[in-house]
Amino acid sequence: MDPKFPSYWKPYILQSSYAAGTVFFITLLLSENPVVIASIGATAFIVFALPNNIAAEPKRIIGGHFLGFFIGSCFAVFPFMHIVLFKAMWFALSIGFTILLMVVLDFEHPPAAGTSLGMTLVGYSNSAAIAIIISVLLLTIIAYLSKPYLEDLV
């Protein structure tokens, strides 16, 4: 158990509750896109448990997820996805390319690699685009507005 918990239990409970509430709201709006919601859950962890981490900066949340969405959508259209070897190669390349561009463009946000992988798996759809835009913008606004009131839990 984290030795800080007995003394700082209130922020642990509050910030975890904020994360749960935010993901609940996003899930109500976007339940048609479970792959996108999974990477948004990881973003919620960073926003609410590590608000001072560079990965919680708005430009990184937005830039990282949009890169992951775009790259994953592009890799989803490659041929031979029904062959396991090619599918594994496309998944690996989408992750590698997403990481490379996130680092080069200064948009490091680890959950965005999950967005890339998810989009490579399911492919582009308007509903996925809307889901990622809404959830990323919502989490970015919450991260920006709540940062002064949150503390790093890790």
Confidence at residue 5, expressed as pLDDT on a 0 to 100 scale: 82
Quick one: residue 89, left, alpha or beta (phi over 0 = left, psi -120 to 50 = alpha)?
alpha
Taking a C-beta distance cutoff of 8 angstroms, is the pair 113, 98 a contact?
yes
Say if 3 falls within a structural domain.
no
| 29-80 pLDDT tens trace | 776 776 677 788 999 999 999 999 999 999 999 999 999 999 999 999 988 8
- Which amino acid is present at 123? G
- Which amino acid is present at 52? N
| 98-153 pLDDT tens trace | 999 999 999 999 999 999 999 998 888 888 888 888 899 999 998 899 999 999 99
Task: Using CB atoms within 10 Å of the CB of residue 130, give its burial: 0 to 12 exposed, 13 to 18 middle, 19+ buried.
Answer: middle
> Residue 3: is its pLDDT beyond 90?
no
Say if 4 falls within a structural domain.
no
State how far Cα 19 lies from the chain centre.
13
Count up the domains in the chain and report the number.
1
Say if 116 falls within a structural domain.
yes
Say if 55 falls within a structural domain.
yes
| 82-101 pLDDT tens trace | 888 988 999 999 999 999 99
Residue-number span of the structural domain to which 94 is assigned? 9-149
Confidence at residue 62, expressed as pLDDT on a 0 to 100 scale: 96
Taking a C-beta distance cutoff of 8 angstroms, is the pair 116, 94 a contact?
yes
| 9-25 pLDDT tens trace | 999 999 999 999 998 88
Say if 60 falls within a structural domain.
yes
Say if 108 falls within a structural domain.
yes
Angle, vertex CA 79, rays to CA 81 and CA 124, nearest 5: 75
Say if 46 falls within a structural domain.
yes
47: tokens are: 């926003």
